[in-house]
């Protein structure tokens, strides 16, 4: 049974506080998104399987390396792109798939408008990344899509979540662990996390 993991490390909390500030500009917000994603990814990869190897140094060292399946990151467009630099700075060999999903106004149905995955996605451990886990609609749809492609092991990583998104995602995909820097109070009627940090996509790309 999976659950939510809040990374309460002081560096993560400090950086999210700076991101929340309306006065934080595009350049700094983008850098903070990437740095925070990297720190959360450090925790999200804590359970990667390892194997012992023997190497020759000044003597013979029995030491460990990561083993098992290779990784892929899948950012949900658009805001998820802001996390990619950070997570790939930790795992540069990871492949990257992209998925674009929007919510139909009115019905709130998830509509996929773009998907491009590595050919071997089904053999990889996948970490889906997005800035915010708000209603959970996009995350739920992206993960459903990946499961239909045969992916067996999926985690979800975001900067901030809220109770509504957390509960919806865990109910839809009880096997998927969520890693984030905080769970804020609530979701407002426009689908924004409160207090949150505003529209993460606009703040990362400077589109407002
Ligand atoms: N997406 C955002 O960018 N911000 C929110 O608060 C919720 C969804």
CA distances to 21, 73, 131, 198 from 203, in Å: 11, 22, 11, 8
Give the contacts of 56 (CB within 8 A, at least 6 positions apart). Answer: none
Mean pLDDT (the chain, rounded): 96
Is residue 69's pLDDT more than 90?
no
**Residue whose token pair is 């992209």:** 98
Ligand 1 site, CB within 6 A: 79, 131-132, 134, 191-193, 196, 199-201
pLDDT tens-place string over residues 124-178: 999 999 999 999 999 999 999 999 999 999 999 999 999 999 999 999 999 999 9
- Residue 198 CA, ligand 1 centroid: distance in Å: 6
Per-residue pLDDT, averaged over 46-73, amounts to 94
- Residue 201 CA, ligand 1 centroid: distance in Å: 8
Taking the model in full, what pTM does it have?
A: 0.96
Amino acid 104: pLDDT: 83
Amino acid 108: pLDDT: 77
- Residue 119 CA, ligand 1 centroid: distance in Å: 31
- Residue 179 CA, ligand 1 centroid: distance in Å: 17
Residue nearest to atom 4 of ligand 1 (CA): 199
Nearest partner of 201 among 32, 79, 100, judged by Cα: 79
Amino acid 103: pLDDT: 83
Is residue 85's pLDDT more than 90?
yes
Nearest atom (ligand 1) to Cα of 194: 6
Percent of the chain exceeding pLDDT 90 equals: 94
For a ligand 1 pocket test, name from 188, 196, 203, 207 the mutation site with the most ligand atoms within 8 angstroms of its C-beta: 196
Per-residue pLDDT, averaged over 67-82, amounts to 95
- The one-character DSSP state at 134 is S
For a ligand 1 pocket test, name from 101, 191, 204 the mutation site with the most ligand atoms within 8 angstroms of its C-beta: 191
Nearest atom (ligand 1) to Cα of 192: 6
């Amino acid at each position: 049974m999976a659950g939510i993991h809040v990374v309460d490390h002081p560096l993560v909390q400090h950086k999210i506080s700076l991101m929340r500030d309306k006065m934080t500009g595009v350049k700094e917000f983008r850098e903070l998104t990437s740095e925070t994603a990297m720190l959360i990814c450090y925790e999200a990869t804590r359970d990667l399987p390892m194997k012992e190897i023997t190497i020759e140094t000044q003597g013979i060292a029995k030491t460990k390396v990561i083993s098992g399946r290779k990784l892929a990151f899948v950012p949900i467009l658009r805001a998820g792109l802001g996390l990619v630099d950070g997570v790939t700075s930790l795992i540069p060999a990871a492949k990257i798939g992209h998925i674009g999903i929007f919510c139909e106004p009115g019905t709130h149905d998830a509509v996929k408008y773009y998907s491009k995955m590595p050919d071997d996605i089904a053999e990889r451990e996948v970490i889906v990344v997005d800035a915010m886990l708000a209603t959970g609609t996009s995350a739920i749809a992206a993960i459903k899509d990946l499961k239909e492609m045969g992916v067996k092991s999926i985690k979800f990583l975001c900067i901030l979540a809220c109770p509504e998104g957390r509960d919806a995602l865990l109910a839809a995909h009880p096997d998927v662990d969520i890693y984030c820097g905080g769970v804020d109070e609530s979701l407002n009627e426009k689908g924004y996390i409160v207090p949150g940090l505003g529209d993460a996509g606009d703040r990362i790309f400077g589109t407002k």
